[in-house]
Amino acid sequence: MFYPGHGWALSSSGNFMDNDIDADEYIVTNTSSLSNVSAIHSALYTTARISPLSLTYYGLCLMKGNYTVSLLFAEIIFKSDRSFYSLGKRIFDVYIQDELVLKDFNIEEEAGGTGKPIVKNFTVVLTTHTLKIHFYWAGRGTTGIPARGMYGPIISAISVVPNFRPPIIVGKRNYLVVVVGAISAAIVIVLMVLGILWRKGRLGGKNSVEKELRGLDLQTGIFSLRQIKAATKNFDTENKIGEGGFGCVYKGLLSDGTVIAVKQLSSKSKQGNREFVNEIGMISALQHPNLVKLYGCCVEGNQLLLVYEYMENNCLSRALFGKNATCKLKLNWPTRQKICLGIARGLAYLHEESRIKIVHRDIKTSNVLLDKDLNAKISDFGLAKLNEDDKTHISTRIAGTIGYMAPEYAMRGYLTDKADVYSFGVVALEIVSGKSNTNYRPSEDFVYLLDW
């Protein structure tokens, strides 16, 4: 089997008998001009392919439908000059799609002599994608005249023309672009529809959160989105008092005059529905002066909101490391001591005094809030874990803030309440030194407590 390219393949079998030639020639060339043929078409008859027994052409990857198959013949080996070369007689059969279309075909007789072209046209119905044209020598005709080995089928050219209008097929690269573009457009449309449904609260996120909240014995209130929008003036940027990985925090005023802080979970937040429910479940069961108080929550549409008591002095991180004078507070030593004691009392309550023992897992200055009297209150319980009395430790996935995590927890996920104590130690060093753990760079000129 030989693949000449352009969607065609051919197969030739057999050997010429008694020609004493080691390498048979299967392409013959015409050296004289043909009669009754134009100069344009004469090139088609310059060469021809011959075969000693069987010659098959395969047209590959064709569309199904009706085709006109034209077979171009010319006897260019034998002569009509009444010489010895005129005594040869070539006879063979032709099959198309395994159907006999020419029986005992003699080119010289059909064309009216040698060196004259003749075209045989056939209408073929393709029900598959492959066209098969088979030329076969059945043993008839001469084999040794004018020379030994001059027999078998011969064909000059083949033409295959569809009897229908083929569809326009773009190039492979353009076709790929069209396919990718169509798929991308479909994906974008699907995502847009899902986004609209999600914004309207018609997907499962809201229902799953509400279902989990109903399963909790909450000691907090439920706020409507309308209430919170009214309190925050529709989340006015002037009421924004903070922003973190979880989203934005807004100051609000309820109709009864209560000042609140609204934590709005961002769609880009790493804190998912599980952490949202976890924070509500944890903090609603806790009541202590050094823990921030949760008033309630709101789950409507794509909105996940937590409503806390308002802390006038924002977070400890801002008070210690604020970038401008309005943010950064001047904290004297007694105040710093009071803040440390407040955090310690809050942790002692979580670890030992509460009816449920809790490991916070994310103690840091940005999670310690300060009220108007600079009393410290621990907040953000999204990563908190229950600490069961009958277990020496908890093996869990690592979560928290690098720089505040205890080594055994950060490296092996080995969690005990001592992890919070370690984090508290880092926070205490920040309070005493006034240097941020995350932004700290050591210096040769000074020695800080953080270097000890």
- The annotated binding site for ATP is made up of 263
**Residue 190 half-sphere exposure toward CB, CA atoms < 13 A:** 6
Residue 168 makes CB contacts below 8 A (sequence gap 6+) with none
The Cα 75–Cα 173 span in angstroms is 44
362 is catalytic: yes
The Cα 135–Cα 94 span in angstroms is 5
- CA 95 to chain centroid, in Å, comes to 51
Burial class (CB in 10 A: 0-12, 13-18, 19+), 377: buried
The Cα 278–Cα 285 span in angstroms is 11
The Cα 106–Cα 155 span in angstroms is 12
Residue 442 makes CB contacts below 8 A (sequence gap 6+) with 448, 451
DSSP states along 136-199: E--S-B-SSSSSTT--S-EE-EEEEEESS-PPP---HHHHHHHHHHHHHHHHHHHHHHHHHHHH
Helices (H), 241-310: 273-284
Q: What six digits make up the tokens of 377?
A: 């209150």
Q: Which of 20, 22, 93, 362 is catalytic?
A: 362
Residues with catalytic function = 362
